[in-house]
């Protein structure tokens, strides 16, 4: 039986990457007087590395003008990541990044029906807090039974650590939960912990294979375009839809 919804953040709760984190990284480069800029396409390739600091190190490894030694690069990555997170908080405060349509409604519906909800991301806590305080108000934490972030785990997604941690923390069996994700790394992380997953496609992962998911669709705001198809073609995806998909997980049915 479904008792708990587990929300990924970047790409799932909100489209944070292209016009949030990416712009914030570019702001950090500019503030540090570095000529580096990440365009939309290049950032898309870097997104296969989870973790902003890890992403910086990956990019530096390909740049002739990056510091030559690993300790120097790590120091620079730490500094740029700190600046990036400050810039991200400013972008979020200006309401340039908002919850995806259908997300606030499902959070409300789940809360009203007594379902538990938790955040499971490997993004830095400071970024999650900035976004959710802005979008859900000062009392946002009360809506979630747990908020697992990058600092809580040794290995970021696609490792299952964040999902295993939330299961242990909330005393949940994997099949009591349902993860909402947008990216292959997140799907792999949830699956690695034995948790069924529903995928809402995001801008950067619009076509990536996510065959292990229970259902895949364009977003919670729209009942059209889902695999498996939803019966009524008007309105948003509801808790009843998620519950139905989740019940199929008991028999291990996926999109295959």
Q: One of 8, 59, 161, 241 is an active-site residue; which one?
A: 8
26 binds ligand XBP (CB under 6 A): no
SS3 32: coil
Give the side-chain half-sphere CA count within 13 A for 212. 19
Size, binding site for ligand XBP by CB under 6 A: 17
Residue 10 bears catalytic tag: yes
Give the burial class of 36: count Cβ atoms within 10 A of its Cβ; 0-12 exposed, 13-18 middle, 19 or more buried. Answer: middle
From the list 30-38, 68-76, 117-125, 140-148, the region that binds ligand XBP by CB under 6 A is 117-125
Q: Which of 23, 29, 77, 121 binds ligand XBP (CB under 6 A)?
A: 121
- Pick the closest to residue 91 from 5, 25, 165 (CA basis): 25
Catalytic residue check, 59: no
Question: Which spans in 47-181 are helix H?
Answer: 52-60, 70-93, 103-112, 125-136, 161-170
When binding is defined by CB under 6 A, the residue of 28, 59, 110, 150 that contacts ligand XBP is 150
9 binds ligand XBP (CB under 6 A): yes
- Taking CA 130 as the corner, what is the angle to CA 129 and CA 135, rounded to the nearest 5 degrees? 95
Among 44, 51, 192, 228, binds ligand XBP (CB under 6 A): 51
Note the residue count of the chain.
256
| Interface with ligand XBP, residue 119, by CB under 6 A | no
Question: Which stretch, 48-56, 64-72, 198-206, 211-219, contacts ligand XBP (CB under 6 A)?
Answer: 48-56
């Amino acid at each position: 039986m479904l008792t708990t919804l587990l929300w990924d953040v970047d790409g799932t709760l909100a489209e944070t990457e292209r016009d949030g984190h990416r712009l914030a990284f570019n702001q950090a480069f500019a503030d540090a007087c570095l000529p580096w800029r990440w365009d939309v396409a290049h950032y898309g390739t870097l997104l296969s590395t989870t973790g902003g600091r890890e992403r910086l190190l990956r990019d530096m490894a390909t740049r002739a003008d990056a510091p030559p030694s690993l300790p120097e690069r790590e120091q620079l990555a730490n500094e740029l990541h700190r600046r990036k997170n400050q810039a991200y908080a400013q972008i979020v405060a200006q309401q340039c990044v908002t919850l995806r349509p259908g997300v606030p409604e499902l959070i409300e519906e789940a809360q009203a029906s007594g379902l538990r909800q938790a955040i499971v991301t490997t993004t830095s806590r400071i970024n999650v807090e900035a976004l959710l305080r802005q979008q859900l108000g000062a009392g946002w934490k009360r809506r979630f039974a747990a908020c697992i972030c990058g600092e809580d785990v040794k290995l970021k997604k696609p490792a299952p650590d964040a999902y295993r941690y939330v299961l242990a923390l909330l005393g949940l069996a994997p099949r009591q939960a349902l993860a909402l994700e947008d990216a292959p790394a997140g799907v792999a992380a949830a699956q690695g912990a034995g948790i069924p997953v529903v995928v809402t496609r995001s801008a950067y992962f619009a076509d990536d294979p996510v065959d292990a998911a229970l259902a895949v669709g364009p977003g919670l705001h729209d009942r059209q375009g889902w695999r498996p198809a939803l019966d009524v073609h008007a309105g948003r995806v509801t808790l009843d839809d998620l519950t139905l998909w989740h019940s199929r997980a008991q028999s291990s049915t996926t999109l295959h």
